[in-house]
Amino acid sequence: MEKRLRLAPSPTGLFHIGTARTALFNWLYAKKIGGKFLIRIEDTDFLRSKPEYTKNILEGLKWLGLEWDEEPVKQSERISIHKNYIKKLLESGYAYRCFTTEDEISKLRETQKKEGLPPKHDNRHRNLSKEEIEKFISQGRTSVIRFKIDEKVKIKWLDQIRGEITWQGKDLGGDLVLSRRALGYEIGDPLYNLAVVVDDNFMNITHVIRGEDHISNTAKQILIYKALDFKLPTFSHTPLILNSEGKKLSKRDCVTSIDEFKEMGYLPEALTNYMAFLGWSPKSAEGEILSLNDISKFFDLSDINKAGAKFNWEKLNWINSQYIKNMESMKLNKIIQRYWARMGWEAPSQEWGIKLVILLRDSMSLLKDGIDQSKPFFLLPPIQKEGQDFLQNNNGKASLMLILNYLKEKKIMKLTKEKAKETINEISKIHNVKKGILMKSLRVAFFGCLSGPDLIQSWELFSENKSDILRIERCLIEIKI
């Protein structure tokens, strides 16, 4: 039988890291077992669902490389089918109309609260007679449809991550509401637990992998599966993603949407690589930098931890830096160029841009670091105090004069790395000035400070840009000695 897995996001917000990790685990496991990865958009909450969120989720999945195998199913297009199944449950006696008003429910909750009991419906309309139902309807009362939950029933399943799970019927909050309120004999809009079972059955889903916050829903859904005589899929409940304090990662932790990760300069390959290890501890995989395809070979649900997974920014940054370091330089240049373009910066040539990216990438953990680190190559940086002090204390002005004169006398217009090294060596020898002093002085002229990327390689770039002489001259004018 074909193995089929799905992600069933509700488009009520931007694509969230938690949903992305669920998608990833589904995708990886589908690949591992040679199954299909499908999407169902659960857009039946008409107040909160928005088409732009659906678009954002699908684009985010694509960006992460988690492509799906069939046209996504839209739950909102299947409402009449869900209602038909509710009707079936009504007719077979598994469900009934419940006319309890909002007021009555609030009162019940208050009493339960006072007694220290959890909220639970008292199933008061489970056995209404035809006449009683008619009376409520003629009074204009609205009704929901409730699914009967036997208090004594034990629901058991073998969770692929957590092992055997048992739930008691009495702990499921009373008879389950399947549909929203409606007037007369109408059936209101179907709710999550009903729709999800009907749709998973329709899509022939064989494996359900979702967050542990759905465990009690699974217990309820298993009862609906049985009542409708549907074949049960296997269930797996993944651990939640936690912040550094061990609480569920939320908007308060600054970044939770995939767009924000993208904006901050994470590469999709790095993010999926990191997310795979969020709650998954493989027995067999070697190393931590692995492509999605490699991970899918090692991936197994039994290696997913039960405990929540703490989000570790340092590890994510490290993984990202590894991907930046190892990325093909043309590709990286193309990506970084987009960041430069936003700043209004343009590389004088593609070759120059590639050389700059190669120079900087070892010290980048995020793509946006490419902005800060490239800045002195596009804009003239101010001379900082440490630069000023260095030149002052080491007769740096004289060193810069020597370099400038050398370049002008020899009419050096374009300096290669080799030529740059040779230049420093020669000046040092002829004028008996330490190489270190010459290079640091030059660094101040180029970068305004004593830190920055490799000086010789930077010089080649400045020379190609014709800004090395200009920077030296500017420094000679600006420094107060």
Provide the binding-site residues for ligand GLU, judged by CB under 6 A.
8-10, 42, 196, 210, 214
CA angle 259, 264, 270 (to 5 degrees): 85
Residue with Cβ nearer ligand GLU (53 or 390) = 53
Rounded to a whole number of angstroms, the minimum distance from the CB of residue 200 to ligand GLU is: 8
Rounded to a whole number of angstroms, the minimum distance from the CB of residue 9 to ligand GLU is: 5
- 404 half-sphere exposure, CB direction, 13 A CA radius: 19
Rounded to a whole number of angstroms, the minimum distance from the CB of residue 16 to ligand GLU is: 9
Residue with Cβ nearer ligand GLU (202 or 406) = 202
- Residue 461 DSSP code: H
Assign residue 220 a region: left if phi > 0, alpha if psi is -120 to 50, beta otherwise? alpha
Within 10 angstroms of residue 33's Cβ, the number of other Cβ atoms is 15
Residue with Cβ nearer ligand GLU (214 or 443) = 214
Using DSSP, state whether 366 is helix, strand or coil: coil
Rounded to the nearest angstrom, the gap between the alpha carbon of residue 94 and the centroid of all alpha carbons in its chain is 40
Assign residue 452 a region: left if phi > 0, alpha if psi is -120 to 50, beta otherwise? left
Assign residue 365 a region: left if phi > 0, alpha if psi is -120 to 50, beta otherwise? alpha
> Residue 457 and residue 36: Cα distance in Å, rounded?
49
Residue with Cβ nearer ligand GLU (41 or 455) = 41
Rounded to a whole number of angstroms, the minimum distance from the CB of residue 176 to ligand GLU is: 15
Torsion sign, CA atoms 370, 373, 376, 379: positive
210 contacts 160 by C-beta, under 8 angstroms: no
> Residue 401 and residue 454: Cα distance in Å, rounded?
22
Residue with Cβ nearer ligand GLU (192 or 277) = 192
Burial class (CB in 10 A: 0-12, 13-18, 19+), 1: exposed
Residue with Cβ nearer ligand GLU (210 or 355) = 210
Residue with Cβ nearer ligand GLU (196 or 433) = 196
H-assigned helices in 291-365: 292-298, 313-326, 329-343, 350-360
Residue with Cβ nearer ligand GLU (3 or 124) = 3
Which pairing describes strands 163-168 and 154-159: parallel, antiparallel, or unpaired? antiparallel
Which pairing describes strands 144-147 and 176-177: parallel, antiparallel, or unpaired? antiparallel
Q: Nearest-CA neighbor of 133 among 125, 145, 121, 144? A: 125
Using DSSP, state whether 140 is helix, strand or coil: coil
Rounded to a whole number of angstroms, the minimum distance from the CB of residue 30 to ligand GLU is: 14
97 contacts 125 by C-beta, under 8 angstroms: yes
230 contacts 199 by C-beta, under 8 angstroms: no
Torsion sign, CA atoms 364, 370, 371, 372: positive
Rounded to a whole number of angstroms, the minimum distance from the CB of residue 359 to ligand GLU is: 44
Residue with Cβ nearer ligand GLU (110 or 213) = 213
Residue with Cβ nearer ligand GLU (10 or 54) = 10
Using DSSP, state whether 27 is helix, strand or coil: helix
Rounded to a whole number of angstroms, the minimum distance from the CB of residue 90 to ligand GLU is: 24
Rounded to a whole number of angstroms, the minimum distance from the CB of residue 51 to ligand GLU is: 16
60 contacts 258 by C-beta, under 8 angstroms: yes
Residue with Cβ nearer ligand GLU (146 or 214) = 214
Rounded to a whole number of angstroms, the minimum distance from the CB of residue 18 to ligand GLU is: 9
27 contacts 294 by C-beta, under 8 angstroms: no
**Which tokens in the block code for residue 184?**
């007369």
Residue with Cβ nearer ligand GLU (10 or 100) = 10
Q: Which residue has the tokens 């060193």?
A: 399
Rounded to a whole number of angstroms, the minimum distance from the CB of residue 214 to ligand GLU is: 6
Rounded to a whole number of angstroms, the minimum distance from the CB of residue 174 to ligand GLU is: 21
Rounded to a whole number of angstroms, the minimum distance from the CB of residue 119 to ligand GLU is: 21
